[in-house]
Amino acid sequence: MLRLIYTSKISRDIDSKGVQEIISSARNYNKRAAVTGVLLSNFDCFFQVLEGPDILVKLLFEKIRRDPRHSEVKLVAESQVGGRLFSQWNMSYLMVSEKNDSLISSDWTKLSANECETIIEMVV
Residue numbers at the binding site for ligand FMN (CB under 6 A): 22, 25-26, 29-30, 39, 46, 48, 60, 63-64, 67, 69-70, 91
Q: Which regions of the chain does DSSP assign to beta strands (E)?
A: 2-10, 36-41, 45-52, 70-80, 92-95
Of 115, 83, 87, 90, the residue nearest 102 (C-alpha): 115
What one-letter code names the amino acid at 119? I
Q: Concatenated DSSP letters for 79-105?
A: EE-SS-S-TT-SSEEEE---TT-HHHH
For ligand FMN, the closer CB: 68 or 83:
68
Minimum distance between the CB of residue 54 and ligand FMN, rounded to whole angstroms? Answer: 16
For residues 39 and 26, the answer to whether their CB atoms sit within 8 Å is yes
For ligand FMN, the closer CB: 26 or 111:
26
Minimum distance between the CB of residue 29 and ligand FMN, rounded to whole angstroms? Answer: 3
For ligand FMN, the closer CB: 67 or 101:
67
CA distance 98 to 84: 26
